[in-house]
Amino acid sequence: MKYLDEYRDGEIAARIVDKMRRTLTRPWVLMEVCGGQTHSIVKNGIDYLLPAGVELVHGPGCPVCVTPLEMIDKAHAIARLPNVIFCSFGDMLRVPGSEGDLFTIKSLGGDVRVVYSPLECLKIARANPKKQVVFFAIGFETTAPANAMLAWRAREESLNNLSLLVSQVLVPPALEAILEAPGNRVQGFLGPGHVCAVMGYREYDPISARYHVPIVITGFEPLDILQGTLMTVRQLESGRATVENQYSRILDREGNRAAQQLISTVFEVCDRKWRGIGTIPLSGYHLRGEFSRHDAEKLFDVAGIAPREPEICISGQILRGLKKPHDCPAFGTLCTPQRPLGATMVSAEGACAAYYTYGRHLSPHGSDPMHPVIRETEIIHANR
Amino acid sequence: MPTADETSKIPGSRGPEIVATPAPFGSCPLPISEHQRIVLGHGSGGKLTADLIEKVFLPAFRNPTLDKLDDQAVLKIGDLRLAFTTDSFVVTPIFFPGGDIGRLAIHGTVNDLAMSGARPLVLSAAFILEEGLAMDDLRRVVESMRAAAAEAGVQLVTGDTKVVNRGKGDQIFITTTGIGIIENDVNISADQARPGDKIILSGTVGDHGMTIMSQREGLEFEGAIESDCASLNELVVTMLSTSTSTQRRDFIHTMRDPTRGGVATTLNELATRANVGMIIDQRSIPIRESVKGACEVLGLDPLYVANEGKLLALVVPEMAEAVLDRMRQHPLGCNAAVIGEVVDTHPGMVLMKTEIGGTRVLDVMFGEQLPRIC
């Protein structure tokens, strides 16, 4: 298929890996920031192809995963109300709150709908004037323009039965939080391709300079990821630390100006809680005052909802790259995509879910968890 | 096949009911959620469906025939071996490119019979109709069932009709039950798979599921996608007629039509049933460009998408090429390919060599496939 197969060519992949092998003089730890990249890595078995000296740890860039428990609980409280149509991106439906998930609420009669585009909510709101239509506006800078557009259009059309429950987060403050964390192992980043398609990558320069860390903005196809990894390794091996753009077929340094303008018209930067990590200052967006009529947090009585997160779940450490899914005693046993305990198991983009989905719960402890060496004697739960 | 699109009404704002299972270590305020009510994922054909069968149905009905968990029961009556199966059909929209709920209801049951190597003979059909269903729609469905039954060479010999209040059904639900005869030298069952067997897939993956999905989402793709729904009994007859030196027809060990949950879930079921491993080569799996594109756009994996006119066959290695040749001469098998083989390592598990040369485990789907956010 055009524009896809070119980036999934096994021979080119082998050549890039070979170059990487010849470049390596010592081991390096890199982090892919995006959930979409994590997904691609495990789905395509890219980690299996990498030379032993290159370790990829999975970053915080799964939007569903980092949405804090209290926002999930607020969403559930609203979705349970009889007069509400609650709209959400698909993979949010499985995210557990303190009591069940949106699937459970749906099975009890709640009107929960999956939308592909936030703008679908406009149609739903127009068609259901007597209902309150609430959209769960989550995600990184990638979803911010479309989510902002929904709020903007709702205000333009005076659709007073349409509101957004906003839990919007930003990548750069999260990278700084990772680099500041005690015990940080990350030496280079595969930067977030889709996020930078919106925002450009200017704002990564100061991070790269301050922490002397290479950041290579990288795409999502297998060859993108391999090339981004090679570019990062080359910087590390030569002692350089700059921002480079592997994903140049999609984005440039400035990003999408129109989208940025829309975002700043609708949202303003605020402190945000991250599931498993805690509050990171100035790490998200909320709706500006002019849009308060469409702010679900102001329309519904949810301010008092402030649950505690499960203690056993180490998703915070996984999101910061300190631990791998295998390091969690609950991984694959107590915590599965069927019964997720925490952030990183809930979405297909979450590191734990990606590991689980592509069978890494079956690979033995002790071996390099990135390389699925499968020994018969160690397979306990094989697909049962 | 996909479950009915839900048109839920809000009966009130009851809170969810969740079982809090005590965590064996740590004090975990988040309960492990076991569904106390049916969720859509229970109908997905994935892990949740398997759980439902294992925890609710099997304990109640357990017997040696049922325990085989094939798509059909094989009953010995005197010298005769009968295949017996039943299937319910719920789909939104009821008419879609390439078929409709009526065709599906015939093909689905015929295929479940054919996967045991049986020659399908007779079917029953039970209709649950929703008050207000257009008579013309019902006629269209019935006419299409007649045509599908004629193509498959089966007769519909008994039936039932019920009507429910508007809002209590989704236009039309159909249940079909079928009986077929299995020749004595044919012995095809999920537990017959042996290491060395070649895994043959009869054609492209994901056509049916993506047709339904793009209809529901109102998406249009370059190069139309059509459901592959078809009766496979003739193709099976063709396969079984492959000439052998022994004149026996035991060279096909296992057959299954990969419907709900797709090829990945079906392969896992087979690997588990026969306690064998499987290795699949992603590059050899036939897929239409339009289906591949639709899956990319919607963030879905075609290996988990439903098919309604495809079969997977595990065939002894020395006969695989001959069977494949026969299949390719049949219109429903013209894209057939060997996609992998059965191995004696990693029993119960399916590995896949990816197109860029990596390896991953192909697991079963756990619930509904959900579109990813970005």
Residue A334 to residue B32, Cβ atoms within 8 A: yes
B314, pLDDT greater than 60: yes
Q: What percent of chain A has pLDDT over 70?
A: 91
Per-chain mean pLDDT for chain B = 86
Residue B40 to residue A356, Cβ atoms within 8 A: no
Per CB-CB distance under 8 Å, the chain A contacts of B4 are: none
B132, pLDDT greater than 80: yes
CA distance B342 to B275: 10
Residue B268 to residue A93, Cβ atoms within 8 A: no
Six-digit token pair at A34? 């995006």
Residue B221 C-alpha, separation from nearest chain A C-alpha, in angstroms: 13
Domain definitions of chain B by residue range: 70-182, 190-362
Residue A288 C-alpha, separation from nearest chain B C-alpha, in angstroms: 24
How confident is the model over B15-19, as a mean pLDDT? 32
Bond prior to B93 in cis (omega within 30° of 0): yes
Give the model's confidence band at A258: pLDDT under 50 very low, under 70 low, under 90 confident, else very high: very high
Residue B374 C-alpha, separation from nearest chain A C-alpha, in angstroms: 7
Residue A195 C-alpha, separation from nearest chain B C-alpha, in angstroms: 10
A81, pLDDT greater than 50: yes
Give the model's confidence band at B222: pLDDT under 50 very low, under 70 low, under 90 confident, else very high: low
Residue A29 C-alpha, separation from nearest chain B C-alpha, in angstroms: 20
Residue B374 to residue A307, Cβ atoms within 8 A: no
What is the C-alpha radius of gyration for chain B, rounded to an integer number of angstroms?
21
B232, pLDDT greater than 90: yes
The CATH superfamily assigned to B190-362 is PurM-like C-terminal domain (3.90.650.10)
Among the partner residues A47, A114, A194, nearest to B374 by beta-carbon distance: A194
Site from B25, B54, B297, B373 to mutate, A interface, most A CB atoms within 10 angstroms: B373
Amino acid present at B355: E
Per CB-CB distance under 8 Å, the chain B contacts of A96 are: 30, 33
CA distance B208 to B45: 15
Per-chain mean pLDDT for chain A = 88
> What are the distances in angstroms from CA B93 to CA A144, A280, B323?
33, 46, 36
How confident is the model over B305-310, as a mean pLDDT? 95
Task: Identify the residue whose tokens are 């756990």.
Answer: B366
Most confident of A224-238, A337-351, B346-360: A224-238
B273, pLDDT greater than 70: yes
CA distance B313 to B203: 12
Site from A131, A224, A383 to mutate, B interface, most B CB atoms within 10 angstroms: A383
B3, pLDDT greater than 90: no
Sheet holding B312-315, edge to edge: B252-256, B312-315, B198-201, B337-343, B277-281, B350-353, B359-362
* Closest alpha carbon within chain B to A34: B374
How confident is the model over B99-121, as a mean pLDDT? 97
Amino acid present at A336: T
Give the model's confidence band at B12: pLDDT under 50 very low, under 70 low, under 90 confident, else very high: very low
Give the model's confidence band at B176: pLDDT under 50 very low, under 70 low, under 90 confident, else very high: very high
Residue A329: count of CB within 10 angstroms of its CB: 14
Per CB-CB distance under 8 Å, the chain A contacts of B35 are: 103-104, 107
How confident is the model over A172-195, as a mean pLDDT? 94
Give the model's confidence band at B122: pLDDT under 50 very low, under 70 low, under 90 confident, else very high: very high
Sheet holding A278-287, edge to edge: A111-114, A84-88, A132-139, A162-169, A278-287, A267-274
Residue A307 to residue B29, Cβ atoms within 8 A: yes
Residue B349 to residue A362, Cβ atoms within 8 A: yes
Task: Identify the residue whose tokens are 């499968």.
Answer: A374
Residue B27 to residue A311, Cβ atoms within 8 A: yes
- Overall size of chain A counted in residues: 384
Characterize the bridge pairing of strands A28-34 and A54-61. parallel
Give the model's confidence band at A183: pLDDT under 50 very low, under 70 low, under 90 confident, else very high: confident
Among the partner residues A104, A114, A334, nearest to B371 by beta-carbon distance: A114
Residues A358, A359, A365, A370, CA torsion sign: negative
Residue A104 to residue B33, Cβ atoms within 8 A: yes
Per CB-CB distance under 8 Å, the chain B contacts of A50 are: none
Give the model's confidence band at B23: pLDDT under 50 very low, under 70 low, under 90 confident, else very high: very low
Site from A112, A226, A229, A338 to mutate, B interface, most B CB atoms within 10 angstroms: A338
Per CB-CB distance under 8 Å, the chain B contacts of A311 are: 26-29
Encode B320-350: b = buried (16+ Cβ within 10 Å), e = exposed: beebbebbeebebbebbbbbbbbbeebbbbb
Residues 6+ apart with CB under 8 A from A235: A188, A214, A216, A241, A242, A244
How confident is the model over A72-77, as a mean pLDDT? 96
Q: What is the ipTM of this complex?
A: 0.74
Six-digit token pair at A328? 């969690």
Per CB-CB distance under 8 Å, the chain A contacts of B41 are: 103
Per CB-CB distance under 8 Å, the chain B contacts of A347 are: 372-373
Six-digit token pair at B363? 């697991």
pLDDT at B372: 60
Residue B359 to residue A48, Cβ atoms within 8 A: yes
Six-digit token pair at B337? 């390919």
CA distance A279 to B66: 54
Among the partner residues A96, A142, A382, nearest to B349 by beta-carbon distance: A382
Residues 6+ apart with CB under 8 A from A195: A33, A34, A61, A140, A141, A142, A171
Q: Concatenated DSSP letters for B135-192?
A: HHHHHHHHHHHHHHHHHHT-EEEEEEEEEE-TTSS-SEEEEEEEEEEE-TT----GGG
Residue B24 to residue A379, Cβ atoms within 8 A: no
Per CB-CB distance under 8 Å, the chain B contacts of A104 are: 16-18, 33, 35, 37, 39
Residue A116 to residue B47, Cβ atoms within 8 A: no
A169 vs A313, more confident: A169
Strand partners, B175: B88, B126
Residue (of A137, A146, A242) closest to A194 by Cα position? A146
Q: What percent of chain B has pLDDT over 70?
A: 87
B311, pLDDT greater than 90: yes
Residue B307 and residue B263 in contact, taking contact as beta carbons nearer than 8 Å: yes
Question: CATH number of the domain at A1-327, please?
Answer: 3.40.50.11740
Give the model's confidence band at B216: pLDDT under 50 very low, under 70 low, under 90 confident, else very high: confident
Question: CATH number of the domain at B70-182, please?
Answer: 3.30.1330.10
* Closest alpha carbon within chain B to A102: B16
Amino acid present at A310: P
Residue B373 to residue A92, Cβ atoms within 8 A: yes
Give the model's confidence band at A179: pLDDT under 50 very low, under 70 low, under 90 confident, else very high: very high
CA distance A192 to A175: 11
Residue (of A123, A111, A112, A115) closest to A159 by Cα position? A123
pLDDT digits (tens, 9 = 90+) for B56-65: 999 999 999 9
Six-digit token pair at B176? 């079909």
pLDDT at A96: 81
CA distance B73 to B178: 11
Give the model's confidence band at A380: pLDDT under 50 very low, under 70 low, under 90 confident, else very high: very low
Give the model's confidence band at A375: pLDDT under 50 very low, under 70 low, under 90 confident, else very high: very low
Characterize the bridge pairing of strands B252-256 and B312-315. antiparallel
pLDDT at B367: 65
Residue B222 has, within 13 A of its CA and on its CB side, a CA count of 5
Give the model's confidence band at A371: pLDDT under 50 very low, under 70 low, under 90 confident, else very high: very low
Cα dihedral value B179, B121, B257, B62, nearest 10: 10
pLDDT at B13: 33
Among the partner residues B18, B359, B371, nearest to A372 by beta-carbon distance: B359
How confident is the model over A276-299, as a mean pLDDT? 94
Q: Which of A322-326, B97-101, B252-256 has the lowest mean pLDDT?
A: A322-326
pLDDT at A320: 77
Cα dihedral value A126, A127, A131, A132, nearest 10: -40
pLDDT at A325: 86
Return the number of CB contacts < 8 Å for A and B: 227
pLDDT digits (tens, 9 = 90+) for A103-112: 889 989 999 9
